Amino acid sequence: MAQVLEFKLPDLGEGLTEAEIVRWLVEVGDVVAIDQPVVEVETAKAMVEVPCPYGGVVTARFGEEGSELPVGAPLLTVAVGATDASSAAPGDDGAAAEEPSGGSGSGSGNVLVGYGTGAPAARRRRIRPERNTASAAPAVPAAPAAPAVVSAPSRPAPVAVAVGEVNGRQGPVAVVSPLVRRLARQHEIDLRGLTGSGPDGLILRADVDSAIRQAGQATEAATRTAAEPVVAEASTAVASPSAAGAAAPAAAERIPLRGVRGAVADKLSRSRSEIPDATCWVDADATELMAARAAMNAASGPSGGPKVSVLALLARICTAALARYPELNSTVDTAAREIVRLPSVHLGFAAQTERGLVVPVVRDAHTRNAESIGAEIARLTELARTGKLSPAQLTGGTFTLNNYGVFGVDGSTPIINHPEAAMLGVGRIMPKPWVHHGELAVRQAVQLSLTFDHRVCDGGTAGGFLRYVADCVEQPAVLLRTL
């Protein structure tokens, strides 16, 4: 007797309460194994694949791609033991899909709150829907297990039909970027009707843009065709006052604050409302720092190594400055009315991605040198660009470095990344007139700004921190004291 089990959206950790369905990985009728990923969701922190803790036949899916579900809401239902009944279905040549075994063997290790793991992944096989064979063969009495399979909570699942009707394709839409999906939704473009120009048929933004243009041209042509008789009649008739009225104003676009954008909005609003921040800034001559970096990257032989970025050098300067001014590597416990100084420096750095602003965290940055910090920054940046950062890689920071100079701006007053106590901002490094050794010269100048929580320290401490950072930028040899 088949048993229908309901799989709910699990607690993905880090206090997340909702997730957006980006892509379904299974269809109604698919056979899934224990711990097999069934849906890709986007949370406020990362994009993750959610594994199903049950093995059997998918009988229903809840939520369309692009919809948002709260934690604990039903994701899908699985008929456990339903594959025996499917063997009696006409058109299967007596072959039934084998149910994934929950016996021996190691599971995927995907631990979900409220669920267990434990079986290896198995190959998916589609159970042919009965409605497809009804016209080709007479009705066959259902096996005893069949009612249990179809008695799962029924919600419309037109996706399984639509997949087979459009371009003869089946399976999930070949789209990776949430930006492409959002663009298609905004313009009501059916992604299943597009043929991707990317690798393995991947649908790119250019494909969606082309479909939008074609749809616009078709609409414009249809409008012209429909308007021709009207124009002919208007030439022989008197225009009414209503015909000359102004067109209705366009409706304002409303964009939901959810996902990464919603998380950023909540965190920045909380920072502004809770933290009494202040900002100080200074201009620095970065010529010597750029020369030192060029010498490092030009070195070969035993002294050579991977290229060192400017951001890695600035990060190393920050860890040295925090060792001198630990007040800025702290947080405020408002409930206990205490300042908590943190023993380790977990350095966050702001990164702009297609999904929005994210802040990956370099763990134990105070124990790393510039080369190690640079390698970790490069690794986390690549994960951020592909949307594969885990929630753990986006949380737990104690201090943030914000290099907004990559956007071509000189200065900013950044908002502190709550619950941290400070953030260093770095503008663009560019040639400027500068008084050097009493003479006017062209030097590589940069503006540094420090926004800090005034509860953890006074202006003297913040000014000392910023001045030390500027001194290290202007004279990198200062760092030799702490190496």
pLDDT in tens, 191-217: 778 888 777 677 877 888 888 888 877
User: Of residues 176 and 459, which shows the higher confidence score?
Assistant: 459
| pLDDT mean over 248-277 | 86
Mean pLDDT, residues 262-278 taken together: 90
The whole-angstrom distance between residue 151's C-alpha and the CA centroid of its chain comes to 36
Nearest to 430 by CA among 444, 448, 412: 444
> Which one of 187, 366, 437, 454 is the catalytic residue?
454
pLDDT at 437 exceeding the cut of 70: yes
Spatial separation of the C-alpha atoms in residues 50 and 48, rounded to whole Å? 6
Q: pLDDT band at 109, cuts 50/70/90?
A: very low
Is the bond leading into 120 cis (omega within 30 degrees of zero)? no
**Segment 403-410 mean pLDDT:** 91
Please report the pLDDT score of residue 176 as a whole number: 52
- At residue 279, the pLDDT reads 95
Average pLDDT of every residue of the chain: 77
Assigned token pair, 333: 């416990």
437 catalytic per annotation: no
What is the structure's pLDDT at 403? 93
Share of the chain above pLDDT 90, in %: 39
Q: Write down the pLDDT at residue 321.
A: 96
Q: Report residue 448's pLDDT band, with 50, 70 and 90 as the boundaries.
A: very high
Q: Tell me how far apart the alpha carbons of residues 147 and 69 are, in angstroms, rounded to a whole number.
A: 28
Q: What is the pLDDT of residue 13?
A: 64
Q: What is the pTM of this model?
A: 0.56
The per-residue pLDDT for 3 is 86
Q: HEC profile for the chain? A: CCEEEEEECCCCCCCCCEEEEEEECCCCCEEECCCEEEEEEECCCCEEEEEECCCEEEEEECCCCCCEEECCCEEEEEEECCHHHHCCCCCCCCCCCCCCCCCCCCCCCCCCCCCCCCCCCCCCCECCCHHHCCCCCCCCCCCCCHHHHHCCCCCCCCHHHHHHHCCCCCCCCCCCCHHHHHHHHHCCCCHHHCCCCCHHHCCCHHHHHHHHHHHHHHHHHHHHHHHHHHHHHHCCCCCCCCCCCCCCCCCCCCCCCCHHHHHHHHHHHHHHHHCCEEEEEEEEECHHHHHHHHHHHHCCHHHCCCCCCHHHHHHHHHHHHHHHCHHHCEEEECCCCEEEECCCCCEEECEEECCEEECCEECCHHHCCHHHHHHHHHHHHHHHHCCCCCHHHHCCCCEEEECHHHHCCCCCCCCCCCCCCEEEEECCCEEEEEEECCEEEEEEEEEEEEEEECCCCCHHHHHHHHHHHHHHHHCHHHHHHCC
pLDDT at 482 over 60: yes
Average pLDDT over residues 346-375: 91
pLDDT in tens, 33-58: 988 899 988 876 677 888 898 889 89
CB 346 within 8 A of CB 364: yes
Q: Is the confidence at residue 339, as pLDDT, over 70?
A: yes
